[in-house]
Chains A and B, each alone.
Chain A
Amino acid sequence: MARLLEFDDVHQAFGDENVLRGISFGMDRTDVEVVIGPSGSGKSTLLRCVNRLTEFDAGDIRLNGESVTAMDVDALRRRVGMVFQGFNLFAHRTGRGNVTLGLTEVRDIPSGEARRIADENLARVGLSGQADSYPAELSGGQKQRVGIARALAMEPELLLFDEPTSALDPELIGEVLEVMRDLAEEGMTMLVVSHEMGFARSVADTVTFLDDGIVAERGPPEQLFEHPERDRTREFLGELDT
Chain B
Amino acid sequence: MDILPLQAGDWAFVGTNWWILMQGLYVTVLLTVGSLLLGFLAGFPGGAIEVYGRGPLRSVVRGVGVLLRGTPIVVLIVLFFFGVQWPDIGAVPLGGLLPLPAFEINGQALLASTAALGLRSAAYQSQVFRGAIRSIDEGQLEAARSVGLSKLEAVRHVVVPQALRRSIPGFQNEFTIVLKDTSIAFAVGLAELLTRGFELFTQPAGQTAVVEIILTVSAIYFVLTFLTNRTLDRVENRFAIPTGE
Asked whether, in the complex, the Cβ of B140 is within 8 Å of the Cβ of A134, the reply is no
B135 to chain A, nearest CB (A): 11
A88 to chain B, nearest CB (A): 4
Decide: A102 near B148, CB < 8 A? Known: A84-B143, A86-B139, A92-B165.
yes
* A78 CA to B146 CA, complexed, in Å: 8
Extra contacts, 15 of them, besides A75-B148, A81-B146, A84-B142 (Cβ < 8 A), are A51-B146, A74-B148, A74-B149, A77-B145, A77-B146, A77-B147, A78-B147, A88-B142, A90-B140, A90-B144, A90-B157, A92-B158, A101-B144, A106-B148, A147-B143
* A91 CA to B6 CA, complexed, in Å: 56
Listed from nearest, the 5 A-B pairs whose CB atoms lie closest are A102-B147, A137-B244, A88-B143, A88-B139, A78-B148
A:59-106 near B, CB below 8 Å: 74-75, 77-78, 81-82, 84, 86-92, 101-102, 105-106
* A101 CA to B140 CA, complexed, in Å: 12
Selected A-B contacts with CB under 8 Å, 8 pairs: A77-B145, A84-B139, A88-B139, A89-B140, A101-B149, A101-B158, A137-B242, A151-B146
The answer to whether the Cβ of B67 comes within 8 Å of any Cβ in the partner chain is no
A167 to chain B, nearest CB (A): 11
* A151 CA to B147 CA, complexed, in Å: 7
Asked whether, in the complex, the Cβ of A81 is within 8 Å of the Cβ of B147, the reply is yes
B-side contacts of A147, CB under 8 Å: 143
The answer to whether the Cβ of A154 comes within 8 Å of any Cβ in the partner chain is yes
* A80 CA to B164 CA, complexed, in Å: 31
* A134 CA to B241 CA, complexed, in Å: 8
Output the residue of A82, A88, A106 with the most chain B CB within 10 A.
A88
Asked whether, in the complex, the Cβ of A53 is within 8 Å of the Cβ of B148, the reply is no
B-side contacts of A138, CB under 8 Å: 244
* A86 CA to B146 CA, complexed, in Å: 14
B-side contacts of A75, CB under 8 Å: 148
The answer to whether the Cβ of A136 comes within 8 Å of any Cβ in the partner chain is yes
A-side contacts of B142, CB under 8 Å: 53, 84, 88
Of all chain B residues, the one with the shortest Cβ separation from A137 is B244
Partner of B244, one of A53, A89, A92, A136: A136
A-side contacts of B101, CB under 8 Å: none
A-side contacts of B208, CB under 8 Å: none
The answer to whether the Cβ of A150 comes within 8 Å of any Cβ in the partner chain is yes
Partner of B145, one of A53, A87, A89: A53
Contact with B along A131-155 (1 / 0, CB 8 A): 0011011100000000100110010
Of all chain B residues, the one with the shortest Cβ separation from A98 is B143
Asked whether, in the complex, the Cβ of B162 is within 8 Å of the Cβ of A91, the reply is yes
A-side contacts of B144, CB under 8 Å: 90, 101-102
* A103 CA to B158 CA, complexed, in Å: 14
Of all chain A residues, the one with the shortest Cβ separation from B141 is A88
Decide: A92 near B161, CB < 8 A? Known: A105-B153, A134-B244.
yes
B-side contacts of A77, CB under 8 Å: 145-148
* A134 CA to B239 CA, complexed, in Å: 13
Asked whether, in the complex, the Cβ of B146 is within 8 Å of the Cβ of A53, the reply is yes
A-side contacts of B153, CB under 8 Å: 105
A-side contacts of B145, CB under 8 Å: 53, 77
* A101 CA to B154 CA, complexed, in Å: 10
Output the residue of B147, B162, B165 with the most chain A CB within 10 A.
B147
B:123-167 near A, CB below 8 Å: 137, 139-140, 142-150, 153, 157-158, 161-162, 165
B-side contacts of A106, CB under 8 Å: 147-149
* A102 CA to B143 CA, complexed, in Å: 10
Of all chain A residues, the one with the shortest Cβ separation from B156 is A105
The answer to whether the Cβ of B243 comes within 8 Å of any Cβ in the partner chain is yes
Output the residue of A84, A101, A137, A151 with the most chain B CB within 10 A.
A101
* A42 CA to B148 CA, complexed, in Å: 24
B-side contacts of A137, CB under 8 Å: 242-244
A-side contacts of B147, CB under 8 Å: 77-78, 81, 101-102, 106, 150-151, 154
